[in-house]
């Protein structure tokens, strides 16, 4: 199995506090330790990424290696936030994975179309969520080189 | 037993763009080890890749060249390289929803950044051993075909399990 030397920073945009808790727990269930940061809607997400207001300090709010994005959120929803991220040349390199309860074909199609790296339908059970997060982390943490990581820090067998 | 996370149980179509025949065989044999059947197609360079996706040149027939669910893309290829091909795919409204994963020998930071900037859905440094490739393919399979929801009404798009064996071409 491959692994990254550097810990990966995830930023999760999710308005539902129960879901935030479940996602946090699912991340902890799946072996690799990483840094997880949360924002609660699209406005906060963009503020975070642009280091505005309460996110001004990059040591407290580091630029994420990957964003997990809910679609249905108040103020600015995930669709708008995704479009804004992908049309901003300073942010577009950050992979965005949609994690949502929506199974609507239009949401799936549109998310890929605007530039989502992938689309995950939130499993309804906690076990399902843990399994999904495990598969997610195997791919993005163990196999893939993320844009902010040093490629020469070669992945090696455990 | 682990339950499948969604019911995407049709034959997935994977298109590999790779000019090196040894590397192509490595990927194909790693996929062949999986317990699921795939339609695996391959092209030799970016030029063929775009022709395949646009059903041009020798790729007019959608039964022998079906639209892929996932593209695995090498970067360094003759005629049109992976960087150009990725840029073209992601700027074409008819093609941009297909996830493209780069698998390359390159460890150049600029290639990685550019891959994501252009809309790539992952950058994987090509494993040099069968065991390494097997591991990569297992994870690719689990993530893209069991965790992720693909675009284009993949479930049932081509009919489910038509019983045909995986096709190897190219």
- Strand, helix or coil at B70? strand
Regarding pTM above 0.90, the answer is no
For residue B25, give Cα distances in angstroms to B20, B43, B168. Answer: 9, 13, 10
Q: Could you read off the pLDDT of B32-72 as tens digits, one per residue?
A: 888 777 889 999 999 999 999 999 988 888 888 999 999 99
In chain B, the residue whose alpha carbon lies closest to the alpha carbon of A107 is: B151
A156 touches chain B (CB under 8 A): no
Q: Could you read off the pLDDT of A64-83 as tens digits, one per residue?
A: 999 999 999 999 999 999 99
- Strand, helix or coil at B40? strand
Amino acid B168: pLDDT: 40
- Strand, helix or coil at A61? coil
Residues of B in contact with A115 (CB under 8 A): 90, 119
**Would you say how long chain B is, in residues?**
170
Work out the average pLDDT over B79-104.
Answer: 96
User: Please, which residues 46-65 of chain B have a Cβ atom closer than 8 Å to chain A?
Assistant: none
Domain ranges in chain A?
Answer: 9-143
User: Please, which residues 63-122 of chain A have a Cβ atom closer than 8 Å to chain B?
Assistant: 86, 89, 92-95, 103, 105, 108-109, 112-113, 115, 117-121
DSSP, res B68: P
CATH class assigned to A9-143: alpha beta
Please indicate whether, in this complex, the C-beta atoms of B121 and A95 are within 8 angstroms of each other.
yes
The burial of B25, by beta-carbon neighbours within 10 Å (0-12 exposed, 13-18 middle, 19 or more buried), is given as middle
Share of chain A above pLDDT 90, in %: 81
Amino acid B62: pLDDT: 80
Q: Which CATH number fits domain B12-146: 3.30.360.10, 3.40.50.2300, 1.20.970.10, 3.40.50.620?
A: 3.40.50.2300
Q: Could you read off the pLDDT of B96-122 as tens digits, one per residue?
A: 999 999 999 988 899 999 999 999 999
CB-CB contact of A23 with A14 (8 Å): yes
Ordered alpha helix ranges (H), chain B = 21-32, 46-53, 82-90, 109-118, 130-142
- Strand, helix or coil at B25? helix
Amino acid B5: pLDDT: 35
Quickly tell me which residue has 């491959």 as its tokens.
A2
Please indicate whether, in this complex, the C-beta atoms of A113 and B140 are within 8 angstroms of each other.
no
Q: What angle do CA B130, B134, B138 make, to 5 degrees?
A: 175
CA B135, distance to chain mean position in Å, is: 16
Share of chain B above pLDDT 70, in %: 84
């Amino acid at each position: 199995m491959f692994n990254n030397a550097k810990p990966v920073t995830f930023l999760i945009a999710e308005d539902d506090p129960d879901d935030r808790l479940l996602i946090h727990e699912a991340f902890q269930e799946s072996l690799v330790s990483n840094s997880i940061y949360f924002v609660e809607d699209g406005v906060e997400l963009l503020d975070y990424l642009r280091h505005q207001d309460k996110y001004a300090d990059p040591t407290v709010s580091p630029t994420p290696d990957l964003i997990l994005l809910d679609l249905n959120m108040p103020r600015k929803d995930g669709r708008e936030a995704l479009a804004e991220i992908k049309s901003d040349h300073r942010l577009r390199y950050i992979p965005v994975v949609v994690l949502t309860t929506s199974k609507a074909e239009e949401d799936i199609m549109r998310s890929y179309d605007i530039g989502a790296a992938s689309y995950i339908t939130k499993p309804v059970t906690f076990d399902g969520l843990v399994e999904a997060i495990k598969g997610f982390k195997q791919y993005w943490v163990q196999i893939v080189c993320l844009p902010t990581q040093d490629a020469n820090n070669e992945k090696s067998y455990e | 037993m682990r339950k499948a996370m969604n019911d995407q149980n049709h034959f997935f179509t994977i298109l590999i763009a790779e000019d090196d025949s040894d590397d192509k065989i490595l990927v194909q044999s790693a996929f062949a080890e999986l317990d699921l059947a795939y339609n695996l197609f391959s092209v030799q360079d970016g030029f063929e890749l775009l022709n395949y996706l646009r059903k041009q040149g020798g790729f007019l027939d959608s039964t022998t060249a079906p639209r892929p669910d996932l593209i695995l893309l090498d970067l360094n290829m003759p005629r049109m390289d992976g960087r150009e091909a990725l840029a073209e795919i992601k700027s074409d409204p008819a093609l941009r929803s297909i996830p493209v994963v780069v698998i390359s020998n390159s460890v150049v930071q600029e290639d990685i950044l550019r891959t994501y900037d252009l809309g790539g859905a992952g950058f994987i440094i090509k494993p040099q051993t069968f065991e390494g490739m097997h591991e990569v393919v297992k994870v690719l399979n689990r993530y893209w075909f069991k965790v992720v929801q693909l675009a284009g009404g993949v479930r049932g798009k081509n009919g489910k399990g038509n019983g045909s064996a995986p096709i190897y071409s190219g």
